Amino acid sequence: MRNGSVQHRPFFKVLIANRGEIALRVMRSARKLGLGVVAVYSDADRDALHVQQADQAVRVGEALPAQSYLNIAAIIAAAKASGADAVHPGYGFLAENEEFAQACKDAGLVFIGPSPQAIETMGNKAGAKEIMKKAGVPVVPGYQGADQGDEVMLAEAREIGFPVMIKAVAGGGGRGMRLVADANSFPEALRSARSEAKAAFGDPTVILERAIQNPRHIEIQVFGDSHGNAIHLGERDCSVQRRHQKLIEEAPSTAVTPDLRAKMGEVAVAAVKALRYEGAGTLEFLLDASGGFYFMEMNTRLQVEHPVTEAITGLDLVELQLRVARGESLPVKQQDIRFTGHAIEVRLCSEDAAQDFMPQSGRMARWQVPDGIRVEHALQSGSEIPPFYDSMIAKVIGHGATREEARGRLIVGLEQLTGFGVTTNQTFLMSCLRHPGFAKGEATTAFIGAHRDELLAPRADAAFDMALAGLLLYVTNPQAPSWRRGRSLAATCPLPAKIEIAGQALELEVWRERDGSYIVARNGRQDKFEIDQLDLDGIRFRHDGVMDSAKFLRDGDRLHLQRRGIPLAATDLTLAAPKAAASNGDGKVRAAMNGRVVAVLVKPGDRVTAGQPVMTLEAMKMEHVHKAGIDGVVAAIDVAEGEQVTTGRIVAEIGAE
């Protein structure tokens, strides 16, 4: 299966059919080879960094992916309009869509990836499993039949045995995937998986697999060219996941021995050669505790986690893609590949880990990345993070001579990275990296589920950070009353301050001592701060004889604070007008994020109980169920399926019985 009938396919300008950090990543390697680069953008991305940095940029539609980044005709037209003669799909969106690859070929464009036939054969999970079974590769037991009827699917799930995994045939990245524990929850999980798969990939077809408990998720990076050559670049361990989406990836895996690596690599290369596969690909396996491995799927594209392989091999995988696409032979042979050190990547996502990883969107008021560590991103201070796309906003990669060195560098890099304005999983990632189980290399796919409470536990010195936030809110407030001076300030002149952190209102007292230091008191605790330096970017201070520092940003009544990599957001309520207390249990179901209504699960007049699902919203390509807060009767449904809603909007109303 080859991309074309000619050996050499020269091209000079590449259109990148993607957005964000991967668009910038492809631009970097393309320019290294002397190629021009063209960006595409939706209305939501008009001012995005990948648009600004491209040689040319073409609008391809409205904000929703189906109207822009998934619009094949618009992207082909953009390539023609810009004079591009090749297309790089990045990952996600149309990267594994055989119709898109064929459309590029029909339009005379070089598709930087495998042939449409290879994408169709191996990108389809059911077809790929059949090919692997015939080749003698062990696969996970399951069902991948053409009959997708609800009753048939439930019967097959019972036959396989619960728990089962529902997976989108055309998908990846956790979209359209559901772990189902029993038959009762299967119908709704099936509906939800199909809906999510349809929205993300345009295909609602799913397969079923037996759920292997607590495995490692191991993938093998492969490359093939049009001359029949094929290589593997070792494995990546992608076991640390939430919502079946990878959060931390590393190479090599602590669970893979040299013999197992050779065996898995041999299987992967044999598959590539049998397919006459061209370009980058990844074979994904589940590895059980006994060392048995089972083929899951093949991703016929570049992976999000490709930088860890680049770090330990010294190869530029995007450059290899470009060279193979223009008909060159792979520049390295299997015996030439050397693995050096260890690399770990984390995915920084705009989500609230404490709220079940709820996606977040909005304006990134301040964005600063550290020096000395690789950060793949497409952000700058003031960038808007729209609610329509994947929540991953950056990747941070640590590389070292040993795993411990790579882990340490990555933790320091995360401590130094600053993202103020939108909640991210920065703190959660550091908790994962510092956890003893991860530090020992023992993490399986059950890691986050098993240690969730530990990973989300507040830090031991949270009270100190609250005090620091209270101090900064007060001393940076231009409307604050002047500091009083006198002989006994501590005893007679405490100034009340009220702040809100994580929805909790806190009352503090702040005063200034005669020596210029500040005291912040709350619930009998007193913290003394001596400020050495205070400017728009940060504060240096002394506390208990130790000099420390923190970054902060004052944005109206809002304060963004970060000390040792742990961000905190606080609101100044001291001078604010009293607000009516928000009622709890008022029966109103409010949108928890900006998103699109994909399923209304009840209708007016229905009786519901507290905790019952009433509506499903989709944000950043993931579905989120909204539930009733009280027992009662549905009084009104205030939105329609397909409607885009904003955070806080009332979507349903429930009246008490």
Say what the pLDDT of residue 583 is.
37
Name the more confident of 415 and 171: 415
Decide: 197 and 205 in contact? Cβ < 8 Å: yes
Give the mean pLDDT of the chain: 90
Q: What is the rounded CA–CA span in Å between residue 503 and residue 72?
A: 44
Tell me which residue of 306, 435, 422 sits closest to 374, measured CA to CA: 306
Nearest to 542 by CA among 458, 482, 473, 468: 468
Pairing of strands 110-111, 86-88: parallel
Q: Which residues contact 78 (CB under 8 A, 6 or more apart)?
A: 15, 38, 40, 58, 60, 84
Instruction: Copy the structure tokens of residue 216.
Output: 């490692």
Query: What is the distance between the alpha carbons of residues 417 and 148, in angstroms, rounded to a whole number?
Result: 46
**Distance separating alpha carbons of residues 128 and 18, to the nearest angstrom:** 25
Q: Which of 615, 610, 419, 584 is nearest to 503 (CA)?
A: 584
Give the position of tokens 């010294």.
Answer: 314
Query: Is 301 part of the annotated catalytic residue set?
Result: yes
Indicate the residue type of 295. F
Q: What is the pLDDT of residue 512?
A: 86
For residue 479, the model assigns a pLDDT of: 62
pLDDT tens-digit series, residues 229-266: 999 999 999 999 998 899 999 999 999 999 999 999 99
pLDDT digits (tens, 9 = 90+) for 269-284: 988 888 899 999 999 9
Q: Which of 242, 276, 301, 403 is catalytic?
A: 301
Distances (CA, A) of 61 to 71, 97, 333, 379, 385: 8, 19, 43, 21, 18
Judging by DSSP bridges, how do beta strands 538-543 and 525-534 pair with one another?
Answer: antiparallel
Task: End-to-end CA distance of the chain: give it in Å, rounded.
Answer: 64
Asked if residues 378 and 368 have their Cβ atoms less than 8 Å apart, the reply is no
Cα dihedral value 144, 123, 376, 410, nearest 10: 50
Provide the pLDDT confidence category of residue 1 given band limits of 50, 70 and 90: very low
Mention every residue, 6+ apart, whose C-beta is less than 8 A from residue 556: none
**What's the whole-model pTM score?**
0.84
Length of the chain: 657
Q: What is the pLDDT of residues 509-563, one digit of tens each?
A: 988 888 889 999 998 899 999 999 998 889 999 999 999 999 999 988 889 999 9
- Asked if pLDDT for residue 481 goes beyond 60, the answer is no
| β-sheet bridge partners, residue 210 | 164
What's the maximum distance between 2 C-alpha atoms anywhere in the chain? 90
Pairing between β-strand 86-88 and β-strand 525-534 as defined by DSSP bridges: unpaired
User: For position 391, what pLDDT does the model report?
Assistant: 94
Helix/strand/coil (H, E, C) string of 513-580?
A: CCCCCEEEEECCEEEEEEEEEECCCEEEEEECCEEEEEEEEEECCEEEEEECCEEEEEEECCCCCCCC
Nearest to 459 by CA among 568, 369, 367: 568
Mapped onto helix, strand or coil, the DSSP state of residue 163 is coil
d(CA 374, CA 308): 10
* Sign of the four-CA dihedral 64, 66, 68, 70: positive
Question: What is the C-alpha separation between 57 and 203, in angstroms, rounded?
Answer: 29
Residue indicated by tokens 């991703």:
299
pLDDT tens digits, one per residue of 15-55:
999 999 999 999 999 999 999 999 999 999 999 999 999 99
Instruction: Report the pLDDT value the prediction gives residue 192, as an integer from 0 to 100.
Output: 93
H or E element in which residue 619 lies: strand 613-619
Question: What proportion of the chain, given as a percentage, has pLDDT over 90?
Answer: 71
Tokens matching residue 370: 């550290």
E strand intervals along 17-88: 36-42, 56-61, 86-88
Q: Regarding predicted confidence, which is higher, 162 or 458?
A: 162
pLDDT of 338 reads: 95
**Which of 124, 157, 142, 158 lies closest to 209 in space, CA to CA?**
142
Distance between CA 632 and CA 76 in Å, rounded?
52
Distance CA 333, CA 230 (A): 8
Higher pLDDT, 479 or 342: 342
Q: Cite the beta strand spans of 243-357 per DSSP E.
A: 245-251, 279-287, 293-299, 342-349, 351-352
How many helices, marked H, and strands, marked E, lie in the chain?
A: 17, 39
- CB under 8 Å, gap of 24 or more: what pairs does 245-248 form? 245/173, 245/174, 246/174, 246/217, 246/304, 246/305, 246/347, 247/346, 247/347, 247/349, 247/425, 247/429, 247/432, 247/448, 248/344, 248/345, 248/346, 248/347, 248/429, 248/432, 248/433, 248/438, 248/443
Spatial CA neighbour of 632 closest among 612, 648, 615, 608: 608
Cβ-proximal residues to 528 (8 Å cutoff; 6+ apart), any chain: 513, 517, 518, 519, 543, 544
Q: Supply φ then ψ for residue 65, to 5 degrees.
A: -55, -40
What confidence tens digit (pLDDT) does each residue in 61-118 have?
Answer: 999 999 999 999 999 999 999 999 999 999 999 999 999 999 999 999 999 999 999 9
Could you tell me the strand order of the sheet in which 632-637 lies? 588-590, 650-655, 632-637, 607-608
